[in-house]
Chain A
Amino acid sequence: MAVCIAVIAKEVCSYWAGTKACTPSTCGPAPYTFYLQVFGHFFFSPLFNQNYPLYIRSVPIQNELKFHYTVHTSLDVVEEKISAVGKAMADQRELYLGLLYPTEDYKVYGYVTNSKVKFVIVVDSSNTSLRDNEIRSMFRKLHNSFTDVMCNPFYNPGDTIQSKAFDSMVTAMMVQAS
């Protein structure tokens, strides 16, 4: 089962975070695959509506490119979901977007923060043990860690996330989810 976590920024910069992908040796034999990608958002460039990844992590690392593609296609769904809610409800819009869309192989979950930073998780469909509230908790942890990264004055928003604490958290989460 493939799992992929992606953190996506709002600007396109071809900015593949490429943080240490979890190799099978470090993550151990993962029965499920997991892919995470974080897409960030640039505040001082509101004209740009593109997203670029701040952080990508997958386990195992095979088929990573396929996950990249999946996550990028899911961005459209994310944009659609966040634009569906009107301005009045913008504050009340739930951050957890839920299952964006299922494909034959995997399910894509989305989460958007108030600052339009998007978290995308791709999980294999065969991983039936992952329930919705578990995904929610994962997103919550991601968000917490992301804010910790943001708190760091040495982190410039828009940079790729190279925080070790973030990496360790993601690794632990992936191991737990697998």
Chain B
Amino acid sequence: MESLTLTDGEQKYYSDLFVYCDTDNTKKVASNGRVLDLFRAAQLPSEVVLQITELCGATRLGHFGRSQFYIALKLIAVAQSGLPLRVESLNSVKDLPLPRFVVAKNEQEARHTAMYPDSENQGSYQGVIPRPPGRGQVKKLSAHEVIQPCVPTVEPQLQPDPTSPVVSPHQSPPTSPHWRKHKRQASGGNVERQPVVLAGAVWTPFREAQAGPVVSGDGMWSANSPPPVQESWENSSIRTVASATTTNETQRQSSGGYDDPWKITDEQRQYYINQFKTIQPDLNGFIPGSAAKEFFTKSKLPILELSHIWELSDFDKDGALTLDEFCAAFHLVVARKNSYDLPEKLPESLMPKLIDLDDSAEVPDQAPDVGYSGSPVEVTPNKSPSMPSLNQTWPDLNQGNEQWETFSERSSSSQTLTQFDSNIAPADPDTAIVHPVPIRMTPSKIHMQEMELKRTGSDHTHPTSPLMAKPPDLSEETKLATSMKFVTANSGDGYSSSDSYTSDQDPITSVVTRQRSHSGTSPEGLKVVAAPPPPPPRPHASHSRSSSLDMNRSFAAVPTGPQLAGVVAYPPAVPPRPLPTQTSGPHSGHRSDEGLAAHSTTSPHQIPEQPNFADFSQFQAFAASDQLSDDGEKHPESLPLEKSSEGAGPLRTVKSDNQEERAAATVNSAKGSIMAPPPKPVRRRLKSEDELQEEALPLKSNVIATVLAAQPSIPRSVGKDKKAIQASIRRNKETNTVLARLNSELQQQLKDLLEERISLEVQLEQLRPFSHL
């Protein structure tokens, strides 16, 4: 190989070309493909090319070394100048013009249409997208002459950068690496990129020459959205490419110096904003999904791609596009229209909130073309502090539950969107099963307590209030005032305890009577105080059945006198309940309580009421009979039994009534001085110890004794005649009720006894036949 002497210009030119062809970066061998392309670009007949390759020794070597390459280039120049190809001419020819490499027109078009690696769309795009400015550039480029002059102008700029693109077609090489580094994934081979880069490189000089190539593109933006946008986008991308190529080597070297193709330029952004306004005047508002769908369908992209674009751009997954999201979507549509493949995930520059940063960073960057310091590397650092946080927060937001709510809000905005119920929404409380609130027929504790409170309080509206008012009137009451209150409290307790035993089956009246009986407990004390100790109706209101009897008694006493009405009628005016119905009820209960009659836990302070006065004798007998009956044996002493039962009836009733009011009984018994529920509390105590049947009789006797003892004291306490009469009347009534109850009880007992007798007789009968035999 002859030594090759090259001029300086030639040297530089050749070295640049070699670098361009040195795809493998071997610095020694130029790849065959590149070289051949280059040679083809020389527009020489193929045979000449072959000859050249042969001459330079590449065929011999099999590859293009640097020297071979240079020789080849020189030969090309020789051939292009029309000189015969001869090795001798390499050095002989002086002033040989530099070899010219012309880019074929179709290649140029290809570059224009896309800068895309995808060559398939090139043809289609040429027809679709009118790009006069671009074409104009292309046309300019087609002139070889233009290229050449540009070379020297561009070269100096490029020279500082060893990788700087060679002028005109040779400009492509340095940019190709940049393109390679480009984010675009749909990258064709480097060969494909070359035309793109070449175009970009070619346009660079024009860009420099012109104030702004994009300006021409701006005029197109007023036209239909996609084409001009594409064009503008393309121009901007071209510009960015060009600017990239013209950046300083430092910039280029750093991160490749190329721009982010996904970055939205200002012009683009403004265009997007204008388009946004046509749909949604409020820039801070949303574009609903349906409107966005219609808008982007106009771009004639396949639905699948639009769907993917939507997925990428709708960052907050709310079915609507904000301004940022819309710009991102639009940008992606433009990119896709220009046959850029869509990224798998949203590029950072398109992310909402980051675009703002981009713009702010871009503005100063784009001012100087050369100083496109808005190189992504420099820009990204500005964004990086915020980006990671945003990147982190966005996924979190997406995974959060709030998207459920937003979705449900947004879904209503679109007709095509299916209506989902929010899964997160809690069950409507209205649909919750409402438990039926039981309506108590019987007074509840609260109610009873209320009654008690009313009583205890100075509430004069309560019928029992007169009760309170009464005592002061009576002389004897004062000393019992405290006890009264105590009684009321007890009655309250009694109520509560009785409440537990209240049966829902009782008619309201019985409830009321119970109430009255409760109120009776206090009235008992009050009664005692008001009227010279009329034995107040026992506080045995606890037991429903017995309470009725008590109520009867109390009611009987009520009508006696207005004075006593309030006192006696613990419960507000309630008609006396039918005795039989009620008496029959508690009988069975009372029966069991018979045994308690004789409980003598209470002291004789329990003054029996006057009505019981008459019963006491019976009680005594009854106590005896109780003993017998308690033994469980049936005696033909039914009469005494009856008698005793009669006596014990009230006792029993009292006891049964008081059974639940043990507390009250105890309290009352504790009082001692209280004459009010004398026998009753005692009986209650007795009842509570129902099991102690054996003690019943003695207890009973004690009670009877106490009652008897208490009885006489009662009338004596009456000082005034009128009141005495009233009290006596009351007592009589009470006695009547007690006796009536006793009567019913005894009758019950009689029935039981009769049944027992019958059973015994039957047994006898069964035994007798044998005796007969």
Which A residues form the contact surface with B (CB < 8 A)? 43, 88, 91-92, 95, 113-115, 143-144, 147-148, 150-157, 162-165, 168
Q: Is the CB of B308 within 8 A of A164?
A: yes
Q: Find chain B residues with CB under 8 A from A143 CB.
A: 423
Tell me the minimal C-beta distance from A32 to chain B in angstroms. 25
User: Per-residue CB proximity of B403-417 to A under 8 Å, as 1/0?
Assistant: 110010011001011
Q: Which residues of A contact B407 (CB under 8 A)?
A: 147, 150-151
Does B420 lie within 8 Å of A150, measured CB to CB? Answer: yes
Chain B 305-348 near chain A by CB (<8 Å), digits 1 or 0: 01110110010011100000000000000000000000010000
Q: Which of B381-433 contact A (CB under 8 A)?
A: 399, 403-404, 407, 410-411, 414, 416-421, 423, 427-428, 431, 433
Nearest-neighbour CB distance to chain A for B365, whole angstroms, equals: 33
| Residues of chain B within 8 A of A147, CB atoms compared | 317, 403-404, 407, 420
Give the chain A neighbours of B48 by CB distance below 8 A.
none
Q: How far is the CA of A154 from the CA of B317 in the complex (A)?
A: 13
CA of A154 to CA of B332, assembled, Å: 15
Give the interface centre of B308, B314, B418, B427 by most chain A CB atoms within 10 Å.
B418
Q: Smallest Cβ distance from B403 to chain A, in angstroms? A: 7
Q: A152-B310, A162-B307 are in contact. Are A92 and B431 (CB under 8 A)?
A: yes
Please tell me if the beta carbons of B289 and A153 are within 8 angstroms of each other in the complex. Answer: yes
Q: What are 30 contact pairs spanning A and B, CB under 8 A?
A: A88-B433, A91-B421, A91-B428, A114-B423, A115-B418, A115-B421, A144-B403, A147-B420, A148-B311, A148-B317, A148-B403, A150-B411, A150-B417, A150-B418, A151-B410, A152-B289, A152-B307, A152-B311, A152-B314, A153-B414, A153-B416, A154-B296, A154-B310, A155-B307, A157-B418, A163-B307, A163-B311, A164-B308, A164-B311, A165-B311
For the complex, give the distance between the alpha carbons of A144 and B407 in Å: 10
> What residues of chain B lie closer than 8 Å to A152, measured between beta carbons?
289, 307, 310-311, 314, 319
Flag if A154 contacts B303 (CB, 8 Å): yes
Q: How far is the CB of A26 from chain B (nearest CB, A)?
A: 14
Nearest A residue to B304, CB-CB: A162
Q: A144-B403, A151-B319, A154-B310 are in contact. Are A115 and B431 (CB under 8 A)?
A: no
A114 and B427 contacting across the interface, CB-CB below 8 Å: no
Query: Contact: A151 with B417, CB < 8 Å?
Result: yes
Classify chain B: how many residues form its interface, as a range: 35 or more
Determine if B750 is an interface residue (Cβ-Cβ < 8 Å). Answer: no
CB atoms of B433 and A151 under 8 A apart: no
A-side contacts of B509, CB under 8 Å: none
**Supplied contacts A92-B427, A150-B407, 6 more A-B pairs, CB within 8 Å:** A92-B431, A115-B421, A150-B417, A150-B418, A153-B310, A163-B311
B318 to chain A, nearest CB (A): 7
A22 to chain B, nearest CB (A): 16
Min CB distance B409 to A, Å, is 11
> Is there an interface contact between B420 and A153, defined as CB atoms closer than 8 Å?
no
CB neighbours (8 Å) of B411 from chain A are 150-151
Contact present for A151 and B307 (CB under 8 Å) = no
A163 — which chain B residues lie within 8 A by C-beta? 307-308, 311
Interface contact A88-B306, CB-CB below 8 Å: no
In residues 285-311 of chain B, which contact A (Cβ within 8 Å)? 289-290, 292-293, 296, 303-304, 306-308, 310-311
Residue on B with the closest CB to A89? B431
Q: In the complex, A117→B428 CA distance in Å?
A: 22
Q: Which residues of B contact A153 (CB under 8 A)?
A: 289-290, 292-293, 310, 319, 414, 416-417
A144, B417: Cβ atoms closer than 8 Å: no
Minimum C-beta distance from A152 to chain B (A): 5
Closest-CB distance, A164 to chain B (whole angstroms): 6
| Nearest neighbor of A149 in chain B, beta-carbon distance | B311
Chain A residues with Cβ below 8 Å from B421 are 91, 114-115
Q: Which residues does chain A contribute within 8 Å of B414, judged by CB atoms?
A: 153
| Complex alpha-carbon distance, A164 and B399, angstroms | 17
Please indicate the chain A residues that have their CB under 8 angstroms from the CB of B410 in the complex: 151
**Chain B residue at minimal CB-CB distance from A155:** B307
Nearest B residue (CB) for A115: B420
Q: Is the CB of B318 within 8 A of A151?
A: yes
Chain B residues within 8 Å of A144, by CB: 399, 403
| Closest B residue to A166 using CB positions | B311
Most buried by B among A148, A153, A157: A153
Q: Which of A88, A143, A151, A156 has the most CB of B within 10 A?
A: A151
Of all chain A residues, the one with the shortest Cβ separation from B296 is: A154
Name the residue on B nearest A156 (C-beta): B416
Whether B289 and A151, one on each chain, are in contact in the complex, defined by CB atoms closer than 8 angstroms, is yes
Give the complex CA separation of A153 and B321 in angstroms. 11
Q: Do A154 and B306 have beta carbons less than 8 Å apart?
A: yes
B431 — nearest CB in chain A belongs to which residue? A91
A88: shortest Cβ distance to chain B, in Å? Answer: 6
Q: How far is the CA of A36 from the CA of B161 in the complex (A)?
A: 55
Specify which chain B residues have a CB less than 8 angstroms from the CB of A43 in the assembled complex.
Answer: 418-419
Partner of A115, one of B296, B318, B344, B419: B419
Interface centre among A43, A91, A143 (most CB of B within 10 A): A91
Q: Which 4 A-B pairs have the closest CB atoms?
A: A153-B289, A114-B421, A153-B293, A154-B307
What is the distance, in angstroms, from B329's C-beta to the closest C-beta of chain A?
11
Q: How many whole Å from A95's CB to the nearest CB in chain B?
A: 6
Hey, what's the 0/1 contact readout for B718-749 against A, CB within 8 Å counting as 1? 00000000000000000000000000000000
Contact A157 B423 (CB under 8 A): no
Q: Note all chain B residues with C-beta closer than 8 A to A156.
A: 416
